[in-house]
Amino acid sequence: MSSAAILVRGLKKSYGSVAAVQGVDLEVPRGSFFGFLGPNGAGKSTTIRMLTGLIPADSGSIDILGLRLPEDEIEIKKRIGLVPDESLLFDRLTGAEFLEFVGRMYGLDRATAIERATGLLDLLELANDRKIIAEYSKGMRKRVAMAASLIHHPELFLMDEPFEGVDAVGARLMKDILLDQVHRGATVFLTSHVLEVVERLCDRIAIINHGAIVTSGTLAELRSGGESLEDVFVRVVGAERELERLDWL
């Protein structure tokens, strides 16, 4: 069995003449909490979508949990939990109904799906809410999405901005759940623009810019001379701006 939860080699994806991802190499060890960072439009979401099989790669290889995409697509999907940037919630279901549906789609029998859905809703403090998801706040939607990614007890979590729009209490709860999962042997691969969160949670980090990995390693390896993660990020993506040019502002 491969020791890497995710092993990506020479991954490329273009949209017409625009190269969204150009030759990404990535290795995410099993049991790690991996932060995948980059400025807007750098290729983070495209990479995650390729990892989940939502979009095909132009070239390169993807191995997830020792299985090859797209050949073992169905088996891989069974073993990953996904929280994408865009909603995958069905608005006209209640939280409980949605979780039960997800559980059944991931192969759980109905009784088990209901039991797990009830437990997860209780854990994420949504148990008493029987409104349809369309009436949920953004934070509640994220919590349900998180619960949906947990219901089949996956080995690998792929999460695109999971804490966006979640209040402090909810975010804390979600972080605790993810840390607990990592302690139990699961792997978390997440993107976030909140660098403090990544700094606190992740043990390994990769930064992508213009579709290519510009740096990767442990947090300690990336920091040089006591820099914060934000300093590292700004330095490697070359994002310093000349505000003086906008003298009218």
Partner 1 sequence: MRLAAHRGASLSLIMAVIWYGGWCFLASMAFTLTAHADAQTLRTWIPAGLLVICFYWQIVPILSASMGSALDMRKLLVYPAPHGKLFTVEVLLRVATGLEMLLILTGGVAGLLANPATGGWRAVPRLLALGFTFILFNLFLASGVRSLLERMLSYRRFREILVFLLLIGLTAPRLMVVSDVQVGQFRGLDAFIQFEPLPWAVIGHAWLGGPVLGAVAVLCIWTLFAAWFGRAQFERNLRYDAVAAQATPRGTEQPRTGSWSEHFFRFPSLLLRDPLAGIIEKELRSLTRTPRFRMVFVMGFSFGVMVWLPLVIGRGAERHGTLEHHFLIVVSVYAMTLLGQVTYWNCFGFDRSAVQFYFAAPQPIFKTLLGKNLASLFFIYMEVLILIVITLLLRVGVRLNQILEVLLVVGICALYMMAFGNMSSVQYPRALTPERVSQGGASGRFQALVFLLYPIALLPVFLAYLARYAFESNTVFAAILGLAALIGGALYWVGTESAIKTIATRRERILADLSRGEGPVASS
153 binds partner 1 (CB under 8 A): no
Helix (H) / strand (E) element for 178: namely helix 168-183
Distance (Å, whole) CA 189 – CA 2? 17
Q: Which one of 19, 93, 179, 234 is in contact with partner 1 (CB under 8 A)?
A: 93
- Rounded to a whole number, what is the largest CA-CA distance in the chain? 64
Residues in contact with partner 1, counted by CB under 8 A, come to a total of: 37
For Cα atoms 157, 214, 188, give the angle at the middle one, nearest 5 degrees: 10
To partner 1, the closest distance from the beta carbon of 45 in angstroms equals 11
Q: Which window, 1-9, 128-136, 180-188, 216-224, contacts partner 1 (CB under 8 A)?
A: 128-136
Distance (Å, whole) CA 174 – CA 125? 11
Find, among 127, 143, 148, the residue nearest to 82 by Cα: 148
To partner 1, the closest distance from the beta carbon of 132 in angstroms equals 6
To partner 1, the closest distance from the beta carbon of 23 in angstroms equals 20
Nearer residue to partner 1 within complex by CB, 35 or 154? 154
Q: Which one of 5, 11, 26, 96 is in contact with partner 1 (CB under 8 A)?
A: 96
To partner 1, the closest distance from the beta carbon of 105 in angstroms equals 5
33-37 and 204-209 beta bridge pairing: parallel
Nearer residue to partner 1 within complex by CB, 109 or 180? 109
| Per-residue contact flags (x/-) with partner 1 for residues 37 to 56, judged by CB under 8 A | ------------x--xxxxx
Which residue, chain included where needed, has tokens 């949209």?
Answer: 15
DSSP string, 62-113: EEETTEEETTTHHHHHHHEEEE-SS----TTSBHHHHHHHHHHHTT--HHHH
Q: What letter represents residue 176's amino acid?
A: D
Distance (Å, whole) CA 186 – CA 166? 23
| Per-residue contact flags (x/-) with partner 1 for residues 165 to 184, judged by CB under 8 A | --------------------
Q: Which one of 105, 169, 194, 239 is in contact with partner 1 (CB under 8 A)?
A: 105
Cβ atoms of 36 and 189 within 8 Å: the answer is yes
Distance (Å, whole) CA 34 – CA 198? 9
125 binds partner 1 (CB under 8 A): no
91 binds partner 1 (CB under 8 A): yes
78 binds partner 1 (CB under 8 A): yes
Q: Which one of 10, 59, 61, 75 is in contact with partner 1 (CB under 8 A)?
A: 75
The residue ranges that bind partner 1 (CB under 8 A) are 49, 52-56, 74-75, 77-78, 82, 84, 86-94, 96-97, 101-102, 104-107, 109-110, 129-132, 134-135
